[in-house]
Structures are given as C-alpha cells and as structure tokens.
Amino acid sequence: CSDGSVGSDNTHVECAVCLCKFEEGVEIRQLPCCHLFHRSCLDKWLDHQQITCPLCRSCLISEEAA
C-alpha cells in the first residue's frame, strides 16, 4: 500500500467501479488489499451483497466474522 496519497505514483487514479478519476475532496475508501474506490461506489457494491474487492476479488470479511 502507498502512503494514502491518491495518484501520487499514478497507480490509483480512477475508481475501478465507475471508471471516473479521483477528484480532490471526494471521499475514498481503501480496502485491506490496498485498492481504492469512491466511498459511494464501494457502498453500492456492498449493498448488492458483494463481500469481495471489486478489482481483485479478495474477501473483505475475515473467517472469524463470517
């Protein structure tokens, strides 16, 4: 994972859900796998009962919580 600065190394310049660039002031979320998404995009993803990262499909829920 990076230091959290969006786009500083050109790896996290757009949300993989909506394919729009991250703009200054827009709230983003970083998953344990280090992928970044707009908060609203990730919330919609999770509302559809998805429990994996939209990009790499790593599980977002630990075995203990499941």
pLDDT digits (tens, 9 = 90+) for 3-60: 555 545 555 689 999 999 999 999 999 999 999 999 999 999 999 888 999 999 999 8
Distance between CA 54 and CA 64 in Å, rounded? 22
Beta bridge partners of residue 36, listed in sequence order: 30
Distance between CA 37 and CA 15 in Å, rounded? 5
Domain ranges of the chain: 1-66
In one-letter notation, the amino acid at residue 46 is: L
In angstroms, the Cα distances linking 53 to 25, 32, 37 are: 23, 9, 10
Q: Which CATH architecture has domain 1-66?
A: 2-Layer Sandwich (3.30)
Looking at residue 41, what is its pLDDT?
96
